[in-house]
Structure 1
Amino acid sequence: MFSTLTFLAVLLTLSTAASLTVHTRNGLITGHTSPNTSSVAEFLGIPFTQSPTGKLRFQSPQHLSGGTRHYIAANYSVDCPDSPNGDVHFPDFTLQAQQVIDYFSANSGTTQGEDCLSLNIWTPENGDEVACADRPVLIFFYGGRFTFGHTDTPVFDGARLAGAEDVVVVTVNYRDNIFGFPGLGAGRNAGLLDQRLAVEWLRVNVAGFGGDPALMTIFGQSAGGVSVDYWAYAYSEDPIVAGLISESGNAKSFPLNTENTTLSNWYNVTETLGCGNTSASLACMQTKNWTDIKAAAAKAPSASSGNPLRSVPAFYPSADNKTVFSNYTALSEQGGFAILPYLLGNNNFEQGYYALPSFKKNVTVTISQGDSFLLNSFTCPSQYQAAARAAHGVPVWLCRYFGNWPNLELYPANSDYPGQVVSEGSGAYHGSDLEMVFGNSAAVSGIPDSSDEDRMIKLMQGAWAAFARDPARGLTRRCLGSIDDMNATQKD
């Protein structure tokens, strides 16, 4: 009897696994039911390029070849090498603050490595099978000032968004820091090229996961939002996607390093590792251990700025006038972007998060500096880019997020650090909107959502999904219902 039951259990397991197996150009990929949402299948850590190691380090990503591999998409891949900010011991932190920050800022102890270029897919399933339908696809690029970031975090788990809105959700690992933005050669902006190759892979394969390749929207937050806007200019003739969403960041949000600074930062690292300061340094650097490169890159100085919140990291996208351009103002005036519907905006108190890394460095951030940072990096760039799109007939929506929920609060108003931006409390800080879009605020904080917070999650998930279903008209059609929902929330 025991043997019979065991045999049947094995058969059932194999049957379920087979039904969650998708055929792709690169072979079979088997996923599993999401532990967070039983109606959603998840496929984790799917490689979409050749491993960027050895002679492919610091180079443009290369397509995978062959189609015979059977990949078991059970776990996230390793994170791309980066340098997160680490713990911040801040006065009056709430009990959940450090956990919320760690999950958001790639500081949760996940493993790093160079073989990291992967994507994760969440798609509705039907009776242990991937539901066949032409669903809209939402493809997410994380932020982190192009210095750190990863997909292996509860913040970006796409199961709840996919299940709530009947969409396909994808998150993409891309190279950052010196590995993604070395600043020279064809791979000077390799991290942005990683994003492009991921979308090209999805164009060919996403139909097998229930997605419509003609209804793909890229969305991103912070550096991810900047990436989305960069995309519009870099691929104006062949954008692949149908819509764009930038949260808290666009092409005009942050300055670029000068060409001299970019090369100086590279040679700072190459000389540290004994590779000299000539064109031969690239080949030499491809032979070094990645951990040594990461350690040396962490010592390269950020560009100075009159506002400590606007300093530019040492390894950051640089203008090649192909993927990144030197004058987005002129390009915007000329309409030099893809004519794609655009949803963009920012949070009401972005500096509520940004003050924390500065505090760790013993840098004082005044209230006026925080206000200036909010205006110059988010509010004004968002308004400018929205106006530029509208002037050229592009459907565009501009939003501002004001949510300030108890379970996501980092520190209260009038914290014990006088004279600083933090006297306002954390408010609607940088990144706090992401828990609404992905629906993971309770999972991230460990504290249940309030009923109003659940309403906001439903509203924002519905808006993002409406845009993805019909980028040109979806939000307009949903608008009246959304306003009614918001009014009900405000009255409660």
Structure 2
Amino acid sequence: MRQSVVLSLVSLFCLISCAPPSYHHGSDLKISTTSGSVTGFVNSTAPNVRQWLGIPYAAPPLGDLRFAPPQAPTPHPVNASAFAPSCMQQYSNGSTIYTEVLKEFLINGGQSEDCLYLNVWAPEATSKGHGKWPVFVYVPGGGFTSGGANSLYKIPDKWVQRTQGHVVVIMNYRVNVFGFPNAKGLERQNVGLLDQRMVVEWTKNNIAAFGGNPDSIIFWGQSAGGASVSLYPYAYPKDPIVKGIAADSGSPGIAGSSDTAQSNFTFVASLVGCTGEPAVVLDCMRHNVTAAALENVLSLYQISARSPKITFGPTPDEVIVFANYTDRAAKGLVAKIVRAGI
């Protein structure tokens, strides 16, 4: 009898002290941000990682906001439990290593013009260093024509689960003609890069609530994302916000559009029936053409390999993208931050 009681007590003690500690998330998943209150989740794949998916960092870039710099969103409660669609993708019929072998690098899920959302992964709130974790803000690649946050090989939940020592923010940003229109009549051309800057600003203003250190942000990107972060310190030499950049390939030299006449936009506009003076063309392209129609016309034209060849990517505007980076560097017009290749 005594032995059975002892065994029972040992079993009870082990049940209390030997089992993995339970973690009651509660309010740790509901965060107040400049976008509104966002409620995240934890799943069994990464049980010690808090996730918030589909947080709006800017207003939907629709109507008058198509081709325009991102604007602050109207704050509202967000059930941050699912990825938002990727931005409108330029597609092709070409065969690449990504379409044939590494398909998990491609976007997973749909696409929409309403796409300016970001995602946050953070360790559980009880982890050591909460409030001081360094933050990686990641820019996906895609040749400035495609790409987005919902890409299976780029979801960092297992990484954060393993380290319990950092926060990751991954964004969508506008690409192809939606992000880099280079159109007559526009004051700002490289709005896709302005989307990225808004994500950095959002992170600075909000990441402490998730446990991240707003003074320890690394701006990191792959391919076109790597080029983006390489351009960044030249664009914001006095106010970079971030403490460092990390580029998985890509360099400032990728921004070298020769479309100084801004004819690519005018040509694509003519294919969808938008002609006339610049202001008329711009208004037509914003209000008379659906995003899907514009995407299809651009993609099919590229697939046909017709002339003239047209592309949309970062173009020198001498504001955030420059024609001569050697000169900028020589003059010291570059942020004094840490640079690293990964």
SS of 2:81's equivalent in the other structure is coil
**Correspondence list, 1:133-144, <5 A:** 133-144=131-142
Match for 1:77: what amino acid? A
Aligned to 2:282: 282
Aligned to 2:40: 31
Aligned to 2:256: 256
1:341 aligns with 2:338: yes
**Cα separation, 1, equivalents of 2:260 and 2:311:** 12
Aligned to 1:152: 150
Of 313, 324, 337, the match for 1:316: 313
**Cα separation, 1, equivalents of 2:128 and 2:210:** 6
Match for 1:55: what amino acid? D
What's the Cα RMSD here?
Answer: 2.4
With over 3 angstroms needed to count, the CA separation of the structure-2 counterparts of 1:326 and 1:272, relative to structure 1, is: same
Aligned to 1:332: 329
**Cα separation, 1, equivalents of 2:310 and 2:104:** 21
SS of 1:207's equivalent in the other structure is helix
**Cα separation, 1, equivalents of 2:302 and 2:326:** 28
Of 71, 75, 80, the match for 1:73: 80
1:59 Cα deviation after fit? 0.2
SS of 1:286's equivalent in the other structure is helix
Match for 1:70: what amino acid? P
User: 1:177-213: per-residue Cα shift (whole Å, max 9, x none)?
Assistant: 1000001313411100000011111111111111011
With over 3 angstroms needed to count, the CA separation of the structure-2 counterparts of 1:16 and 1:341, relative to structure 1, is: closer
SS of 1:161's equivalent in the other structure is helix
**Cα separation, 2, equivalents of 1:300 and 1:235:** 36
> Retained in 2: the 8 A contact 1:29–1:70?
yes
Match for 2:267: what amino acid? N
SS of 1:75's equivalent in the other structure is coil
1:139 Cα deviation after fit? 0.4
Of 62, 74, 92, the match for 2:71: 62
With over 3 angstroms needed to count, the CA separation of the structure-2 counterparts of 1:87 and 1:269, relative to structure 1, is: closer
**Cα separation, 1, equivalents of 2:32 and 2:172:** 22
> Retained in 2: the 8 A contact 1:180–1:191?
yes
Match for 2:176: what amino acid? N
**Cα separation, 2, equivalents of 1:42 and 1:81:** 24
**Cα separation, 1, equivalents of 2:297 and 2:99:** 27
**Cα separation, 2, equivalents of 1:54 and 1:134:** 40
Going by fraction, where is helix more abundant, 1 or 2?
Answer: 1
> Retained in 2: the 8 A contact 1:41–1:125?
yes
> Retained in 2: the 8 A contact 1:269–1:300?
no
Aligned to 1:209: 210
**Structure 1: 5+ residue stretches without partners:** 1-14, 305-311, 346-492
**Correspondence list, 1:16-27, <5 A:** 16=25, 18-27=27-36
Q: TM-score, normalised by structure 1?
A: 0.59
**Correspondence list, 1:111-130, <5 A:** 111-126=110-125
SS of 1:237's equivalent in the other structure is coil
**Cα separation, 2, equivalents of 1:317 and 1:35:** 40
With over 3 angstroms needed to count, the CA separation of the structure-2 counterparts of 1:17 and 1:152, relative to structure 1, is: farther
1:32 Cα deviation after fit? 0.6
**Correspondence list, 1:159-198, <5 A:** 159-165=157-163, 166-184=165-183, 185-198=186-199
Match for 2:46: what amino acid? T
1:301 Cα deviation after fit? 5.1
1:215 Cα deviation after fit? 0.5
> Retained in 1: the 8 A contact 2:92–2:302?
no
Match for 2:257: what amino acid? N
1:154 Cα deviation after fit? 1.3
**Cα separation, 2, equivalents of 1:105 and 1:119:** 17
**Cα separation, 2, equivalents of 1:136 and 1:255:** 29
1:105 Cα deviation after fit? 3.3
Aligned to 1:221: 222
Aligned to 1:234: 235
**Cα separation, 1, equivalents of 2:178 and 2:54:** 19
SS of 1:226's equivalent in the other structure is helix
Length, aligned pairs only = 310
With over 3 angstroms needed to count, the CA separation of the structure-2 counterparts of 1:188 and 1:331, relative to structure 1, is: same
1:83 Cα deviation after fit? 1.7
User: 1:7-30: per-residue Cα shift (whole Å, max 9, x none)?
Assistant: xxxxxxxx7454411111332111
Q: TM-score, normalised by structure 2?
A: 0.84
SS of 2:275's equivalent in the other structure is coil
> Retained in 2: the 8 A contact 1:271–1:277?
no
User: 1:110-141: per-residue Cα shift (whole Å, max 9, x none)?
Assistant: 211111001010000146x9984221000000
Aligned to 2:201: 200
**Cα separation, 2, equivalents of 1:195 and 1:231:** 9
**Cα separation, 2, equivalents of 1:161 and 1:277:** 52
Match for 1:225: what amino acid? G
SS of 2:90's equivalent in the other structure is coil
Match for 1:322: what amino acid? V
Aligned to 1:273: 272
**Cα separation, 2, equivalents of 1:335 and 1:34:** 47
> Retained in 1: the 8 A contact 2:35–2:56?
no
**Cα separation, 1, equivalents of 2:277 and 2:299:** 21
